[in-house]
Every structure is written in structure tokens, then in C-alpha cells.
């Protein structure tokens, strides 16, 4: 028994240290020895997933969920795997269990009214409330107007203060209330990210009307003045996500990693917020970068800047969703096993037509991705530099 526990701990440590192949070996050894513990299976599933064998991971998790239907952590992981594979039907149903995990259980809102089941409820009031990260809210705000249309209800949207302005300027909600404030009386509710389950969202429903968010005109005006003297093309740059994100180590990079992007004729705007912003003080040689971090007060500033830039280059973080929702061009660099919403293999995303995805070919290796991005960026710069010349070499974006 202690052997099993020790081997499992060793496997988990290997996985955490970025050695999923060895972790998988440990897991397989455990299973061959007859250790049918949840931990052993789980270790196998996660190490297979980290190696990018998503279908295999889905099958293992599927079997475990069959055996332990009350284990909601497994069901949530299965949901993410299904969604990544594009199986929206079962994926959104399993995603419903996101608040059943030990670290999320206390986050669930125990709303004392039923959840909307997607049927028309004319004359009733539907409370839609945001949850989770900023990126999620930008991504799923599009569904508020769809829910309004489908439910024929009066829709009250409860949203965090930082994103309220965007909701105010977009269609859908009849009333807005801030998170933590007392909402008006309502009949049914739905978490923003349960809307896909309630409404049976399929890939072919995406992206819907795009752009569905807009920047505030006054801010755009201000930032136009601020950026006017900078030589174009202007490329927004974000190299790190929120450090508390569970998968941050895989998705975030350092500014130095992006050094190959530095090239004559391109002005980078550091849209980075948080502790990683300090890296902009010492940019890699050859990279012209304008620090804006201190001047960006909120997402309204970011949105205004994105409306004026030629391109955003970013790791998988909320500004990407903002750019996509605004219909602005953005390139996203993604780790080998990305978040479920980027699906697999494809260079585009059904969620946002203006986005282009650059994926790692090998786990942990950013150099290949950055080289491809740099070469694409050079193409953009050259086109821009001589937009009317037929003789200038054209490289595709």
C-alpha cells in the first residue's frame, strides 16, 4: 500500500516537473500492478493529456467517470477534454460540474431559484451572472443577446465592475447590476458559462455577430492622441497572463522569449499589466517598445488601444478575447496543450474571425512559434511599408 502511495506521489511530482512521459510510465506500472486507485488512473489521464494525446485522455477520463460518476473533478476534466475535441454536446453538459471540485465548491453561487433550461419564458425575468475570469466574460457576453432572443424574458445581467461598460454598450440585457449588488426580483437564473448548456450551443452557431463589443469613443479619442506620434505598424504585446491561473506556467512567457519579434519598423505597445509589466523596462535588443502599463487604468483603455493598433500579439489571456470581441486582428501564441477553447490543430478559431493561432509544436518550446510569428510579422510590416507596390515581396499574414 505504501509502495502505491509513494509511486503515485513520485508520478505526480514528475508530472508537475514537466516530465509527463516518465509520469505516464509510473502510472502504467501502478495500474499493471493492480493498483486501481483513482490517483493512479488520474495520473495516467493527466500525463497522457500533457503529451497532447487528447482522445486517449478523453477515453481514460470517460471510463473513470463511468466508474465514479460522483467525482466531479474528473467530470470537469472530461468536459474540458470533450470541448477541446469539439464535442460540444456532451462537453457543455459535463462542464456544468465546474463548481463541484474541492477548490471551486465554495465559489458556486447557490442561487435559490431554478436554472434556466433554454425554453422560452415570456413575461419572466432571467438573471444572467458572470463568473470566472475576464476572458471568459468577454467570450460569453455574446450569448446574452441570444439568450434574450431565445427566452423572450426580461434579462438582468449581473457583471463585475471592470467589464460593466462593455455590457452597457452591447445589446441583450434589459438591466445591469453589479456583482455583489442586490439584483431585482427574478424567476430563473443562469451562469454566463452555463448558457451554452442551456441553449445547446454548437460549433456552427459561432461566432455569431462580430464584433459584439465596442470601445468607448471618448477613450479612443484620447488614445488616438497619445499614440499619434508613434511610427506604425503599432503592435500590442502581452506576454503573461494572470499568474494565479492554474495553467499559467504553460501559457505565459517572458518578454525576452519574444526577442525575435523585435525588428526595425515595428512599434510594440506593452499592454502587459501586473508584475510581468516590469520586464518592459529592459526590452530585448532591437525591440522598440512603448510602455503603457501605468497609463492603462482598465479594460476600457485596453479596448481603445486595440481599436487603434494594427495587431495584437498575445499569449492566451483576456486581451485576446477583448480583441476578438472588438473584431480587431490578434495573433495568439498557444502552448502545446492549449486551453479547451482553442480546440486542436487549427490556425483559426470559430469563436473570433479576427484571430489567428500560433501553436507550439513541442511541449515547452516557444522558439519555433516565435520564429513563425516573427516571419509573419515581417510580412505585415513590409506590406504596410509599401502597401501600393506590386513589386514588393508579399508574404501572407
The Cα 335–Cα 54 span in angstroms is 14
Q: Is 182 in the site for another protein (CB under 8 A)?
A: yes
Closest distance to another protein from the beta carbon of 7 (Å): 12
Closest distance to another protein from the beta carbon of 222 (Å): 35
**CB atoms closer than 10 angstroms to residue 376:** 18
Stretch that binds another protein, among 104-112, 272-280, 299-307, 342-350 (CB under 8 A): 104-112
Q: Is 113 in the site for another protein (CB under 8 A)?
A: yes
Closest distance to another protein from the beta carbon of 72 (Å): 7
Residue with cell 438582468: 156
Q: Is 97 in the site for another protein (CB under 8 A)?
A: yes
The Cα 299–Cα 342 span in angstroms is 22
Please give the grid coordinates belonging to residue 3: 509502495
49 Cβ contact partners less than 8 Å away, ≥ 6 residues apart: 57, 81, 337
The Cα 216–Cα 197 span in angstroms is 32
Q: Is 103 in the site for another protein (CB under 8 A)?
A: no
Give the strand pairing for 330-334 and 355-359. Answer: parallel
CA distances from 262 to 54, 206, 248, 397 (A): 35, 34, 24, 17
Q: Is 1 in the site for another protein (CB under 8 A)?
A: no
Closest distance to another protein from the beta carbon of 31 (Å): 9
Q: Is 112 in the site for another protein (CB under 8 A)?
A: yes
Closest distance to another protein from the beta carbon of 65 (Å): 9
Q: Is 176 in the site for another protein (CB under 8 A)?
A: no
Contact pattern for another protein over residues 52 through 91, marking x by CB under 8 A? ---------------xxxxxx--x----------------
Which CB atom, from 40 or from 279, has the smaller least distance to another protein?
40
CA distances from 235 to 54, 183, 323, 387 (A): 33, 40, 12, 17
Stretch that binds another protein, among 10-18, 178-186, 194-202, 321-329 (CB under 8 A): 178-186
Closest distance to another protein from the beta carbon of 69 (Å): 5
CA distances from 362 to 246, 285, 355, 359 (A): 20, 26, 22, 9
**CB atoms closer than 10 angstroms to residue 99:** 16
Q: Is 387 in the site for another protein (CB under 8 A)?
A: no
Q: Which of 92, 186, 223, 351 binds another protein (CB under 8 A)?
A: 186
Give yes or no for a cis peptide into 270 (omega within 30° of 0): no
Q: Is 332 in the site for another protein (CB under 8 A)?
A: no
The Cα 45–Cα 389 span in angstroms is 54
Contact pattern for another protein over residues 20 through 49, marking x by CB under 8 A? ------------xxx---x-----------
Closest distance to another protein from the beta carbon of 134 (Å): 20
Which CB atom, from 178 or from 392, has the smaller least distance to another protein?
178
Closest distance to another protein from the beta carbon of 200 (Å): 17
Q: Is 110 in the site for another protein (CB under 8 A)?
A: yes
The Cα 236–Cα 290 span in angstroms is 9
Q: Is 321 in the site for another protein (CB under 8 A)?
A: no
CA distances from 171 to 130, 137, 141, 157 (A): 16, 15, 10, 11
Contact pattern for another protein over residues 123 through 142, marking x by CB under 8 A? ----x-x-------------
Of 287, 328, 313, the C-alpha closest to 366 is 313
Residues that bind another protein (CB under 8 A): 32-34, 38, 67-72, 75, 97, 100, 105-106, 109-113, 127, 129, 180, 182-183, 186, 189
Amino acid at each position: 500500500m505504501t509502495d502505491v502511495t509513494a509511486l503515485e506521489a513520485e508520478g505526480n511530482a514528475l508530472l508537475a516537473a514537466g516530465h509527463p512521459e516518465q509520469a505516464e510510465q509510473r502510472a502504467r506500472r501502478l495500474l499493471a500492478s493492480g493498483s486501481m486507485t483513482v490517483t493512479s488512473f488520474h495520473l495516467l489521464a493527466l500525463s497522457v493529456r500533457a503529451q497532447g494525446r487528447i482522445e486517449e485522455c478523453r477515453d481514460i477520463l470517460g471510463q473513470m467517470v463511468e466508474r465514479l460518476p460522483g467525482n466531479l473533478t474528473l467530470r470537469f476534466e472530461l468536459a474540458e477534454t470533450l470541448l477541446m475535441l469539439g464535442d460540444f454536446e456532451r462537453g457543455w453538459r459535463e462542464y456544468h460540474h465546474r463548481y463541484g471540485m474541492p477548490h471551486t465548491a465554495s465559489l458556486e453561487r447557490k442561487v435559490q431559484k431554478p436554472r434556466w433550461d433554454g425554453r422560452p419564458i415570456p413575461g419572466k425575468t432571467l438573471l444572467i451572472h458572470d463568473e470566472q475570469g475576464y476572458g471568459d466574460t468577454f467570450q460569453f457576453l455574446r450569448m446574452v443577446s441570444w439568450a434574450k432572443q431565445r427566452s423572450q424574458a426580461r434579462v438582468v445581467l449581473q457583471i463585475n465592475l471592470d467589464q460593466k461598460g462593455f455590457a452597457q454598450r452591447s445589446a441583450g440585457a434589459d438591466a445591469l447590476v453589479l456583482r455583489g449588488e442586490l439584483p431585482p426580483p427574478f424567476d430563473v437564473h443562469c451562469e454566463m458559462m452555463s448558457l451554452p448548456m442551456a441553449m445547446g450551443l454548437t460549433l456552427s452557431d459561432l461566432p455569431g455577430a462580430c464584433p459584439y463589443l465596442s470601445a468607448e469613443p471618448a477613450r479612443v479619442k484620447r488614445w488616438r492622441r497619445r499614440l499619434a506620434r508613434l511610427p506604425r505598424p503599432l503592435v500590442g504585446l502581452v506576454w503573461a497572463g494572470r499568474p494565479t491561473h492554474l495553467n499559467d506556467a504553460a501559457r505565459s512567457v517572458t518578454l525576452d522569449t519574444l526577442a525575435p519579434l523585435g525588428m526595425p519598423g515595428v512599434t510594440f505597445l506593452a499592454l502587459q499589466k501586473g508584475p510581468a509589466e516590469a520586464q518592459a523596462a529592459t526590452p530585448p535588443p532591437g525591440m522598440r517598445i512603448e510602455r503603457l502599463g501605468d497609463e492603462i487604468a482598465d479594460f476600457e483603455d485596453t479596448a481603445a488601444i486595440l481599436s487603434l493598433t494594427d495587431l495584437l500579439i498575445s499569449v492566451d489571456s483576456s486581451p485576446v478575447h477583448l480583441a476578438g470581441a472588438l473584431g480587431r486582428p490578434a495573433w495568439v501564441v498557444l502552448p502545446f496543450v492549449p486551453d479547451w477553447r482553442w480546440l486542436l490543430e487549427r490556425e483559426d478559431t470559430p469563436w473570433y474571425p479576427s484571430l489567428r493561432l500560433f501553436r507550439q509544436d513541442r511541449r515547452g518550446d516557444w522558439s519555433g512559434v516565435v520564429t513563425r510569428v516573427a516571419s509573419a510579422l515581417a510580412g505585415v510590416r513590409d506590406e504596410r511599408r509599401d502597401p501600393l507596390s506590386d513589386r514588393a515581396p508579399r508574404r501572407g499574414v
